[in-house]
A and B are shown apart, each in its own frame.
Chain A
């Protein structure tokens, strides 16, 4: 693999939020370790799928990478340049290469702006010559399957799927190299979801954009990703090539997650691994392996030793003590 293959390199990323102190006056406030030592990399033009349940920290990872919130520790490199060390003006220039598409197409578009203005805004911010803007807006609208005359309308005149297309047009306006899709299809109906997934794939083929695709929907992640990472309570517990992780998951959490997805084949007997209990609070995560309280394979050692990510096959890492020699 050539040196420049990785577009984004995330290293040991952590974000600790101060929690509520409750009644413990004077005592140090507990920390919510929303993201705790996460590392992965994304190749140019590829899709990295990040899955996990509510509160696992996947959306925080997205915000950290874009520096929308500041990291507690760790580094993110974009084309080899350290994003967290970049001064403001430089970060601003780099931002044109990094965009985000949000889940809710109803709250992420300014209702007072026309669609043309919404798409033109990033062009204007990053200094596209006047006169060219109009043409680009038209091109972008057509690219995402809308019509040029839609530019003069307001977001409320569009359906959810169309709004998501507008969000995609805005994100792609500056030809970014990297786009984060944070639950980008979660709010859409099935028939519209497939249209948007196809559009995202077409755009990737056309512009060689890399995606960080964050979703709780494993079937969607399987469809769109090249590499998949699984998070649990702020940690990356497993990461591998898409085919590998779905065919031969290693971590007990990944296995349980996959087995819990309802199958589209009625009446088929399934070996469901039913997880007991709920996701523990990130305010007070379990000691040792954070999954040990729900893990069907837990051993005494799991509550004491925190497992490290280990390579279980080429390019396939998993953090489970069962893999220890």
Chain B
């Protein structure tokens, strides 16, 4: 699944740094993140709570609120640096060219307006369609995202819909202005698995139709395997590994990526031995760590890991790893020594 990098990327994030200046100290939520994405492609950003994946997304939309601030980097979108735009210029981009959907559709929809009105609002803001045309466009969008009897549903309030329907409304709203980039932050996490499958399918077919680039933020490796073309793995504000989806799952090289993959129970697995663990937990965001941020939890860690921070090194055309021992022997994808696969 090697993508040839000839077309210029649609969105390029370069060395993004978003810090939070709290009373207890500075939290470097996003600390030098670089990635790019092309049209019709899906980039998955994975990592656990607090790794900075959502802050990365909000930064790309310039939606960071005090005490947070984007302190460095570039967000290049079609040859403009979004960080240099005025707030008015940014408003024309937000929702229009780059749109976002969130995890909990109930909290991102306004409960006192009908869903039709809310979808129409975005269209009205970014186009000069008449009221009647807006309504027609909204109904078309509702149909497109598979909401039955769209004309009647136009006048529904969010509470009259189920979680899956509300997420469809969010998708309709996000895609109503035909954005070039869609940022989806845990879009299916609150949904049941059969509804998740429907929603992912819908996103995929709409992506094909509109050539949307999707940045999918999730903690669910299964969802990433399912829909992403490229994957970025984040840990404590930094990218630790970046590769095509095939490489991430078949030949991961960062101990954190390997640990995540190994410790996730899989439907394909038939054993019930102890799960391989990543020991300990993510350190406090205020803690001052020297060296590699993962070293306290890493089995590979040596003196250099404790002393110096490794760079994100490109190991082949589509694979970057931030590890001093990336050249070492390949990491075992199967359980480590004491556990044995007992059953076939």
Contact = CB atoms under 8 A, between A and B. Distances in A.
B103 interface: no
A59 to B, nearest CB: 14
Residue with the highest number of chain A CB atoms closer than 10 Å, among B49, B197, B220, B264? B197
B222 A263 contact: yes
A220 B265 contact: yes
Contacts of B178: none
Contacts of A275: 194, 197-198
Interface stretch (A16-24, A74-82, A99-107, A190-198): A190-198
A264 B246 contact: no
B269 interface: yes
24 contacts: A53-B193, A53-B195, A159-B281, A189-B49, A189-B282, A190-B263, A191-B259, A194-B278, A216-B192, A222-B267, A223-B272, A243-B270, A246-B267, A257-B193, A262-B223, A263-B268, A264-B222, A264-B249, A266-B1, A267-B245, A267-B246, A278-B162, A278-B165, A278-B195
A279 B191 CA distance: 12
Interface residues of A, number: 41
Given A189-B219, A266-B245, A266-B249, A218 B272 contact: no
A256 to B, nearest CB: 6
Contact of A191 (B165, B194, B200, B277): B277
B263 A219 contact: no
Contacts of B194: 53, 256-257, 260, 275
B266 interface: yes
A161 interface: yes
Given A263-B268, A264-B249, A264-B261, A54 B219 contact: no
Interface of B: 1, 48-49, 162-165, 192-198, 200-201, 219-226, 228, 245-246, 248-249, 259-261, 263-270, 272, 274-279, 281-282
Contacts of B269: 219, 222-223
B240 to A, nearest CB: 13
Interface in A218-236: 218-220, 222-224
Nearest to B264: A190
